[in-house]
Amino acid sequence: MNVKDITGAGGTAGDIVPADGASIARAAAILRAGHLVAFPTETVYGLGADATNDRAVAAIFEAKGRPRFNPLIVHLPNFEQATNCVQINELARAAAERFWPGPLTLVLPRRADTQISYLCSAGLDTLAVRVPGHSVAQDLLAALDRPLAAPSANASGGVSPTTAAHVADSLDGRVDLILDGGPCAVGLESSVLDLTGGRPLLLRPGGIPKEELEGTLGSIEEDSSQEDAPRSPGRLASHYAPGQPLRLEAREVNPDEALLAFGPAPPAGARTTLNLSQNGDIVEAAANLFAMLHALDDPRHAAIAVMPIPERGLGAAINDRLRRAAAPRE
Ligand code: TXA
Ligand code: MG
């Protein structure tokens, strides 16, 4: 079936449409036919494909221009459905009970009888699963009645999209429909927690602070394997890079730079200044991070200077993203 037939009257490939009952039904039809739909989650926008359809999943890699070895998160409507895809253990049960639906992804052993495409595992014997909290994501999963593979809906190496417009900018013409559910509330990707070993291992800091995860799961190790053999390949050095160079820990700013500020007293003199949080609120800063990086990523700026961000709570995840974005380009 041609995607134009499914998108219906007035619908052309790559359209942004407000998410409502009709557009979600249309999105489900597009996905069922093996095409791609971008949709909002509480963390960032996802580029979704039917996770049981290898070709559809392959189309994600193609659309993103993403290295093949990056495995994908499988989105499910509830814990029950997750138990059909992965082998659940006690820690996983506890984590799911406390944090799902929400910005937490669990890496667990694949079940031998799962229908999920192996491409989602990218050569590993594990699968990353998540139950998103956003009502549009939930409605889409219900309408589709299949698991959804979805990385962040940006071209590989780009900044994660937190609005429908970001998706359109980054994936222009390479996604069949974009469901607009407004800006993402969390604004950072999900925390990725590997529960395949004896102790939980945090592969990617994200929407749930490590301390909060530890409150439920006990002590959590952080992934120190990234340099040589990254267990979470999405954390490769320059993964989150904007086009312009980033200058971190900036306490003053040059007139040809953009300033990504934090707190009540940013230095004056930048060409453009955006403040992650005037009140120094780390959660507000996380929600603004990718949108502001997008906005400041303009060749008119020699660089984006970023003020120091405290490491507390979501600050660790923000700084992880910023260090990655500032890393030398591959
Ligand atoms: O918030 C999010 O997680 C968003 C929304 C759309 O759900 N998705 C997202 O997906 O950020 P993506 O593909 O951009 O990042 C997924 C991360 C990558 O770092 C990837 O390497 C890791 O999860 N990952 C996925 N499957 C894995 C697996 N089986 N083992 C280890 N890491 C895995
Ligand atoms: Mg991503």
Q: Answer whether 289's CB lies under 8 Å from 206's CB.
A: no
Which ligand has the minimum distance to the alpha carbon of residue 155?
2
Note the pLDDT of residue 9.
40
Q: What is the pLDDT of residues 223-262, one digit of tens each?
A: 865 443 445 554 444 445 678 899 999 999 999 999 999 9
Considering the chain, what percentage of its residues have pLDDT values greater than 70?
88
Whole-number Å distance, alpha carbon 150 to ligand 2 midpoint, is: 9
Whether 8 shows a pLDDT value over 50: the answer reads: no
Q: Which residues contact 177 (CB under 8 A, 6 or more apart)?
A: 7, 11, 13, 14, 15, 17, 23, 26, 27, 30, 35, 37, 38
Q: Answer whether 87's CB lies under 8 Å from 103's CB.
A: no
Does 23 sit in the ligand 1 pocket, CB within 6 Å?
A: no
Q: What is the pLDDT of residues 280-290, one digit of tens each?
A: 998 888 878 87
Which phi and psi angles does 300 have, rounded to 5°? -65, -20
Does 127 sit in the ligand 1 pocket, CB within 6 Å?
A: yes
Q: What is the pLDDT of residues 132-175, one digit of tens each?
A: 999 999 999 999 999 999 999 999 888 999 999 999 999 988 99
Does 324 sit in the ligand 1 pocket, CB within 6 Å?
A: no
> Binning pLDDT at 50, 70 and 90, where does residue 309 land?
very high
Query: What average pLDDT does the chain have?
Result: 88
Looking only at Cα atoms, what is the longest distance across the chain?
60
Measured from the Cα of 128, ligand 1's closest atom is 26
